[in-house]
């Protein structure tokens, strides 16, 4: 009898539990459930910065090269590497019997450079005009001039781009502007040489600067002169290039400098950087080797500091994005797509609801949020909620924060009793 009673009671209890479990957890259940979420965070505002750390090299703002046909044309050198010179200073005397032929060569070069300058200016004007209009442009501008050595120099600019592809126009314009700047530098050197008195032919400095290198022998003798203005040169791949903008804040650090130097991005090239000793040094210093040898875009940073010499290697930190905003852990996100994602937060009724977030950038393991979450919102770990239909009623663990001794004494034991038992 007792055995049958025990079995009957066990059966009734099991049936009761099964029925209630079905009512609670079946897909057709109408009873709202509460989900325990152990991980949550209340949103607070913070300052976040996305930084790109790069190797940088101290370079001159401009480099001018003064040259003559051969070492036989030089009579006396007047400067050496490291000397500071002013515009108009004599750098070397020319042999008197070679002076006339050298002046004739400079005159021919000036004529050729002026023709090239006009051609590139016309091409640049056409590109800018076509960029502003609609339709397609197929423009070719060809000019031929004679070099000092009697060889023909041809400048051929062929443009075939779609106006809708603004990036293609920008690249062509940038290339034309870069070539025009190089022509202007060469023209300034040649015209400086031609402006001197014919009684004593000499190599003349076109600028105030510092003699950086002298090539004293060979078929072409030259003197490189740095401008006194310094800039930091670094390089960006395509991914970094898309993030760096003119005006971005830069922090420059180097051993021996007491405090970091603050600067700004001066220029970001839109065409691959030409070969130079700066690019060569960067590729050797940069631990990440580019797979594409053309994927080096020059970035220049304006800096005014006498603490660092030309050629020095510095740590260059570019701030490409910053915000005073809230941030959520990246692993709490779902449906991540570029700058958008979905997260869960508690609404006013205590339910967990999904919200669409706008995420301009990530900061270490957190995602900076510009839209979707605000200060004071309680964000939840979505891994606890992904299997439930929303909105989902939740309950959170009891906070373990204890009041200070002064706080609980001043609050009084009666108030504690009231909230613990009466409420």
* C-alpha to C-alpha distance for 312 and 308, rounded to whole angstroms: 7
* C-alpha to C-alpha distance for 383 and 39, rounded to whole angstroms: 10
Q: Where are the beta strands (DSSP E) in 147-192?
A: 152-162
More confident residue, 385 or 423: 385
77-84 LR contacts (CB < 8 Å, sep 24+): 77/214, 77/216, 78/202, 79/211, 79/214, 79/223, 80/211, 80/214, 81/211, 81/212, 81/213, 81/214, 82/210, 82/211, 83/210, 83/211, 84/209, 84/210, 84/211, 84/228
* C-alpha to C-alpha distance for 204 and 106, rounded to whole angstroms: 13
pLDDT at position 357 is: 96
The reply to whether the predicted model has a pTM over 0.85 is no
Give the three-state DSSP class for 266: strand
pLDDT at position 183 is: 86
More confident residue, 19 or 358: 358
pLDDT at position 163 is: 37
Rounded average pLDDT over 336-346: 91
More confident residue, 221 or 166: 221
Residue 190 in this model has a pLDDT that exceeds 70: yes
pLDDT at position 206 is: 87
Residues 293-307 pLDDT 10s: 888 999 999 988 778
CA 25 to chain centre: 53
pLDDT at position 27 is: 59
* C-alpha to C-alpha distance for 91 and 216, rounded to whole angstroms: 12
pLDDT at position 400 is: 64
Residue 160 in this model has a pLDDT that exceeds 60: no
More confident residue, 123 or 356: 356
Average pLDDT, rounded, for the chain: 82
Residue 145: pLDDT band (50, 70, 90) is: very low
Residue 377 in this model has a pLDDT that exceeds 90: yes
């Amino acid at each position: 009898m007792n055995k049958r009673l025990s079995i009957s009671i066990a059966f009734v209890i099991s049936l009761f539990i099964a029925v209630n479990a079905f009512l609670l957890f079946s897909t057709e259940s109408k009873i709202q459930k509460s989900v325990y979420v152990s991980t949550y965070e209340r949103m607070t505002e913070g300052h976040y910065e996305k930084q790109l750390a790069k190797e940088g090299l101290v370079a001159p703002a401009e480099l001018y090269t003064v040259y003559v046909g051969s070492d036989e044309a030089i009579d006396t050198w007047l400067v050496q590497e490291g000397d500071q010179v002013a515009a108009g200073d004599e750098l070397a005397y020319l042999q008197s019997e070679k002076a006339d032929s050298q002046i004739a060569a400079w005159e021919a070069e000036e004529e050729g450079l002026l023709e090239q300058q006009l051609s590139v200016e016309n091409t640049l004007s056409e590109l800018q005009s076509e960029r502003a209009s609609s339709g397609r442009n197929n423009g070719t501008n060809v000019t031929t001039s004679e070099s000092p050595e009697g060889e023909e120099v041809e400048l051929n600019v062929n443009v075939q781009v779609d106006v809708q592809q603004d990036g293609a126009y920008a690249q062509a314009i940038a290339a034309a502007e870069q070539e025009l700047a190089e022509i202007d530098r060469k023209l300034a050197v040649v015209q400086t040489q031609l402006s001197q008195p014919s009684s004593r032919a000499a190599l003349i400095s076109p600028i105030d600067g510092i003699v950086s290198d002298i090539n004293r022998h060979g078929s072409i003798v030259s003197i490189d002169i740095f401008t006194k203005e310094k800039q930091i040169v670094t390089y960006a791949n395509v991914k970094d290039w898309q993030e760096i903008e003119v005006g971005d804040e830069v922090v420059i650090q180097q051993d021996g400098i007491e405090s970091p130097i603050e600067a700004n991005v001066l220029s970001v090239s839109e065409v691959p950087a030409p070969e130079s000793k700066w690019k060569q040094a960067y590729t050797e210093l940069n631990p990440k080797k580019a797979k594409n040898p053309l994927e080096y875009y020059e970035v220049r940073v304006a800096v005014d500091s006498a603490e660092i010499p030309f050629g020095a290697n510095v740590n260059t930190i570019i701030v490409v994005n910053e915000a005073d905003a809230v941030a959520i852990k990246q692993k709490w996100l779902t449906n991540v797509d570029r700058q958008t994602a979905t997260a869960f937060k508690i609404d006013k009724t205590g339910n967990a609801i999904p919200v669409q977030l706008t995420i301009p950038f990530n900061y270490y393991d957190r995602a900076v949020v510009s839209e979707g979450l605000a200060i004071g919102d309680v964000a939840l770990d979505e891994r606890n909620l992904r299997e439930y239909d929303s909105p989902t009623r939740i309950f959170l663990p009891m906070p373990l924060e204890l009041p200070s001794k002064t706080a609980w004494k001043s609050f009084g034991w009666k108030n504690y009793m009231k909230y613990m038992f009466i409420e």
